[in-house]
C-alpha cells in the first residue's frame, strides 16, 4: 500500500489525480476529506491509524512555518512511519542549489533524519522552485510592471505537473530508487525580462529592501518575510539558474521534454 500525504495540496492533488482508482493507493489529508485517511502531522495521534498497512509513504513536505514547526511535523511523520512498519519514504525536498533559502534547513533536517533512520529506505525528490510559484513572486502589479527584485538573475523553474509525474513514477516503484537523491530543476532559466516579454509587461525590478517592506506590510506571517526575501535574493544573485546543478528532471520524465516553464508561468499569472 502506498500512502500519499498532503493529498489536497496543489502538488498532492496532482499526484492523487494520477493515482485515481488504484486499489493499492491511499490518500491522506489533514481535513480527512471523503475517500481519504485523516492525517495531520501537527496532531501525531492521527498517524498510527493513517499509516496502518502502509509500505511506502510519499511524504509531501508540510512547509509554511518556522523551522521548529516544520521540523516537528516531519519528525512526527517519520517516527510514526518507523513505528507503523513503513518500509520506504519518498520525500519531496528542495533542490541542492537552494541552500541559501531560509526554508532549506527544514528540508535538510528531514533528509538527515531519514538517512539516519534504522528501519526506513528513502528517496529524495529535490524539487526546484515551481513555475507556478514564480507567478506568485513575479506577478505584474496594477501598472503592469514586474517589480520583484530578481535583478539580472534567472530561475530554472519547473512545472508542478512534471514533479507530480515524477513523484508518481518513483513512489509506485520505490525499490528502483532506494537511497537516490534526484535534483529536479528546470532546463530553461527565466529572468524578469523573459517573464515580462511573455506577458507584454515591463520589467522594473525593485530593491530587496523595498520588497521586504512590502511583504511585511501585506499582512504576511513573520516567517514569510525572510522566506520570500531569501527567494528573491537567491534568484537575483544567480544561485537558482540551474548552472550549479545537474538536473535529473528529463531522465526521471522518461526522456521526454519537460513542460515549458514560461508557458506554465503565463497560464498561472492569467488564471490569477
Ligand atoms: N518547490 C516550490 O516552488 C514550492 C513552493 C511552495 C511550497 N513548496 C513545498 O512543497 C510542498 C507542496 O507544495 P504545494 O504547492 O502542494 O503546497 P500547498 O498547495 O500549499 O500545500 C501544502 C501542503 O502541506 C501539507 N501540510 C501542511 N501542514 C500539514 C500538516 N500539519 N500535516 C500534514 N500535511 C500538512 C498540506 O496537506 P493537506 O493537503 O492535507 O492540507 C498540503 O499538501 C509545500 O508544503 C512546501 O513544503 C514548494
Query: Of 17, 30, 42, which is best to mutate to test ligand 1, by the most ligand atoms within 8 angstroms of its C-beta?
Result: 30
Count of structural domains, the chain: 1
pLDDT in tens, the chain (272 residues): 999 999 999 999 999 999 999 999 999 999 999 999 999 999 999 999 999 999 999 999 998 899 999 999 999 999 999 999 999 999 999 999 999 999 999 999 999 999 999 999 999 999 999 999 999 999 999 999 999 999 999 999 999 999 999 999 999 999 999 999 999 999 999 999 999 999 999 999 999 999 999 999 999 999 999 999 999 999 999 999 999 899 999 999 999 999 999 999 999 999 98
User: Which residue in this structure is represented by grid cell 527584485?
Assistant: 149
Using CA atoms in the order 16, 22, 28, 32, what is the torsion angle rounded to 10 degrees? 100
The residue range of the domain holding 35 is: 2-271
C-alpha cell recorded at residue 156: 530554472
Q: Which of 212, 242, 243, 241 is nearest to 229 (CA)?
A: 212
C-alpha cell recorded at residue 65: 512555518
- Residues 6+ positions from 91 with CB-CB distance below 8 Å: 59, 61, 110, 111, 114, 122, 123, 124, 125
CATH number at residue 129: 3.40.50.720
| Residue 80 phi, psi (nearest 5) | -65, -35
C-alpha 27 – ligand 1 centre gap (Å): 14
Spatial distance between the Cα atoms of 127 and 157, rounded to a whole number of angstroms: 10
- Which residues, judged by CB distance below 6 Å to any ligand atom, belong to the binding site of ligand 1? 5-12, 29-30, 40-42, 60-63, 73, 92, 127, 129-130, 133
C-alpha 150 – ligand 1 centre gap (Å): 24
Amino acid at each position: 500500500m502506498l500512502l500519499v500525504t498532503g493529498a489536497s495540496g496543489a502538488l498532492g492533488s496532482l499526484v492523487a489525480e494520477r493515482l485515481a482508482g488504484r486499489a493499492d493507493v491511499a490518500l491522506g489529508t489533514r481535513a480527512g476529506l471523503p475517500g481519504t485517511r485523516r492525517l495531520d502531522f501537527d496532531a501525531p495521534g492521527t498517524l498510527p491509524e493513517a499509516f496502518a498497512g502502509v509500505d511506502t509513504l510519499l511524504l509531501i513536505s508540510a512547509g509554511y512555518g518556522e523551522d521548529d514547526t516544520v521540523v516537528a511535523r516531519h519528525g512526527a511523520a517519520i517516527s510514526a512511519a518507523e513505528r507503523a512498519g513503513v518500509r520506504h519514504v519518498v520525500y519531496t525536498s528542495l533542490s541542492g542549489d537552494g541552500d541559501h533559502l531560509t526554508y532549506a534547513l527544514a528540508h535538510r533536517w528531514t533528509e538527515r533524519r531519514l538517512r539516519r533512520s534504522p528501519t526506513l529506505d528513502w528517496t529524495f525528490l529535490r524539487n526546484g522552485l515551481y513555475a507556478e510559484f514564480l507567478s506568485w513572486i513575479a506577478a505584474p502589479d496594477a501598472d503592469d510592471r514586474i517589480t520583484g527584485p530578481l535583478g539580472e538573475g534567472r530561475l530554472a523553474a519547473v512545472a508542478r505537473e512534471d514533479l507530480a509525474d515524477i513523484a508518481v513514477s518513483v513512489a509506485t516503484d520505490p525499490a528502483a530508487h532506494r537511497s537516490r537523491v534526484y535534483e529536479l530543476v528546470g532546463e530553461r532559466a527565466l529572468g524578469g525580462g523573459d517573464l515580462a516579454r511573455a506577458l507584454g509587461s515591463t520589467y522594473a525590478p525593485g530593491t530587496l529592501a523595498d520588497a521586504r517592506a512590502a511583504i511585511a506590510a501585506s499582512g504576511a506571517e513573520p516567517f514569510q518575510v525572510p522566506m520570500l526575501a531569501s527567494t528573491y535574493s537567491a534568484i537575483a544573485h544567480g544561485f537558482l539558474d540551474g548552472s550549479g546543478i545537474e538536473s535529473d528532471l528529463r531522465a526521471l520524465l522518461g526522456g521526454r521534454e519537460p513542460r515549458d516553464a514560461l508557458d506554465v508561468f503565463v497560464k498561472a499569472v492569467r488564471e490569477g
